């Protein structure tokens, strides 16, 4: 009974996280929500008796891919900043 | 001069074909003329000089952007709704979770894997037995896909110049007491857990890929906390290449040997051993180690190349 309620709660959270990750304006925020989504998904895998997938999802989805996307975001921002600087210099 | 669309006009102007000092057909004679014709000028190309063309182009672009902005959300909602309806219909058709007559249970191959997997491969974790014994060829391909991706990233991002921005960020991070203390407690635990997952891949859930990803994330965390120089003491570009290549070569050779001896994945040097022991299940443990090494190195390599431009 409690397990059923917990599973339904987790599934509802999955949907909420999915929509929130798409709807948030800030890319950083949607990345963090995406990582939260991966953590919830790994718990759901565990409840579905697929511990292999749970471990992989937690390590890859929430860990490595999140970090890689953070790094990419940082790079994009740096490129934008440099472009803005270049524009200012040419304007002067 | 023939009639052209606005884009063709712009292109011709860009290539220097048109001299705007001479009023051509379709051009208003004076600026006052264009103003008097009002909005009708939008449809007819009426470029007089640079500024007019720029303004026209901007208006054109704005109109396209506005149209795109209006259509985009509608299309997104429509496509998502259609896909959701299809997926929900499929979900209602699925057999109940864990029921006996699922397609997976009624297939002959799956039954063979489940019933004879333990005695044939010696792996308590049947998934590991399937991945690294029956279907080892697939896993070999997967490892090579990862290796190819790592090579591509290496070719694209390897640079010798220091990146000043990452240096600045690193200085801030390396002084952070909270990060250091957390890292000192967490990193050994994560590394230990990753090694456990790799080593016990044939006994419990896990295996080379997930364990390698865990070890890779521990290395990333270590590099974040204490700087990449510390990691580079153990894993520089040369040892990175050597490690990954050795692991891949070992995997390929082991599998070649296995295919050479009958291609059914059963003939190994070690034999199945006692199921449940750490040293059992034939080649699965060394293959798990090889895959774990490749995955851990690749994950850390991606991170290092994206931040530092070198491993």
* Residue B24 confidence (pLDDT): 52
pLDDT digits (tens, 9 = 90+) for B107-163: 777 777 877 777 777 777 777 777 777 777 787 888 888 888 888 888 887 776 666
**Do the domain assignments include residue B26?**
yes
pLDDT above 90: percentage of residues in chain A? 22
- Chain B residues with CB inside 8 Å of A18's CB? none
Candidates A55, A67, A74; nearest CB to B210: A55
Domain boundary among B42, B74, B95: B95
- Domain housing A25: 2-91
Complex prediction ipTM:
0.81
Write down the pTM of the prediction. Answer: 0.71
Shared domain for B277 and B171, answered yes or no, is: yes
Shared domain for B65 and B147, answered yes or no, is: no
CA A32, A41, A69, A22 torsion-angle sign: negative
The answer to whether A46 faces chain B, any CB pair under 8 Å, is: no
The answer to whether A56 faces chain B, any CB pair under 8 Å, is: yes
pLDDT digits (tens, 9 = 90+) for B198-209: 888 778 787 888
Domain boundary among B95, B115, B136: B95
The domain tally of chain B equals 2
Least confident of A69-73, B101-105, B204-208, B267-271: B267-271
Element at A90 (helix H, strand E): helix A65-91
pLDDT above 70: percentage of residues in chain A? 93
- Domain housing B37: 1-95
Candidates B165, B214, B303; nearest CB to A68: B303
Least confident of B28-37, B40-49, B70-79: B28-37
Domain boundary among B74, B95, B116: B95
Confidence of residue A77 (pLDDT cuts 50, 70, 90): confident
Shared domain for B292 and B150, answered yes or no, is: yes
Confidence of residue A1 (pLDDT cuts 50, 70, 90): confident
pLDDT digits (tens, 9 = 90+) for B248-291: 888 888 877 777 766 555 455 666 666 666 667 677 788 888 88
Find the mean pLDDT for residues A36-63.
88
The domain tally of chain A equals 1
Shared domain for B72 and B214, answered yes or no, is: no
* Residue B108 confidence (pLDDT): 79
**Do the domain assignments include residue B195?**
yes
Confidence of residue B19 (pLDDT cuts 50, 70, 90): low
- Chain B residues with CB inside 8 Å of A72's CB? 306
**Do the domain assignments include residue B36?**
yes
């Amino acid at each position: 009974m409690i397990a059923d309620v917990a599973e339904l709660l987790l599934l509802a959270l999955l949907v909420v996280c999915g929509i929130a990750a798409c709807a948030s304006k800030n890319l950083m925020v949607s990345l963090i929500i995406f990582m939260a989504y991966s953590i919830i998904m790994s718990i759901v895998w565990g409840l579905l008796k697929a511990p292999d997938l749970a471990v992989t999802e937690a390590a890859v989805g929430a860990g490595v891919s999140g970090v890689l996307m953070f790094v990419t975001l940082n790079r994009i921002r740096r490129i934008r900043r440099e472009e803005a600087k270049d524009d200012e210099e040419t304007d002067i | 001069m023939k009639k052209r669309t606005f884009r063709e006009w712009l292109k011709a102007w860009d290539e220097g074909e048109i001299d705007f000092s001479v009023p051509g057909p379709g051009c208003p004679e004076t600026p006052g003329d264009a103003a008097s014709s009002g909005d009708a000028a939008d449809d007819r190309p009426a470029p007089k000089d640079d500024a007019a063309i720029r303004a026209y182009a901007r208006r054109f672009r704005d109109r396209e952007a506005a149209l795109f902005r209006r259509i985009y959300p509608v299309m997104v909602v429509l496509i998502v709704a259609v896909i959701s309806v299809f997926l929900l219909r499929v979900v209602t058709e699925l057999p109940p979770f864990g029921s006996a007559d699922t397609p997976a249970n009624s297939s002959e191959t799956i039954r063979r894997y489940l019933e004879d997997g333990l005695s044939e491969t010696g792996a308590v974790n049947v998934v590991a037995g399937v991945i690294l014994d029956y279907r080892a060829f697939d896993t070999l391909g997967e490892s090579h896909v990862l290796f190819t991706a790592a090579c591509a990233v290496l070719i694209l991002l390897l640079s010798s110049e220091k990146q000043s921005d990452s240096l600045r960020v690193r200085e801030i991070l390396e002084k952070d007491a909270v990060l250091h203390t957390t890292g000192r407690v967490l990193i050994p635990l994560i590394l230990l857990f990753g090694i456990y997952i790799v080593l016990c891949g044939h006994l419990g859930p896990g295996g080379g890929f997930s364990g390698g990803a865990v070890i890779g994330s521990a290395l990333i965390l270590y590099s974040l906390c204490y700087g990449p120089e510390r990691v580079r003491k153990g894993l520089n570009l040369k040892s990175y290449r050597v490690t990954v290549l050795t692991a891949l070569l070992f995997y390929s050779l082991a599998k070649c040997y296995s295919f050479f001896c009958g291609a059914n994945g059963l003939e190994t040097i070690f034999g199945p051993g006692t199921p449940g022991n750490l040293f059992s299940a034939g080649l699965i443990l060394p293959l798990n180690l090889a895959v774990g090494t490749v995955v851990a190195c690749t994950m850390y390599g991606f991170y290092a190349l994206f931040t530092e431009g070198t491993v």
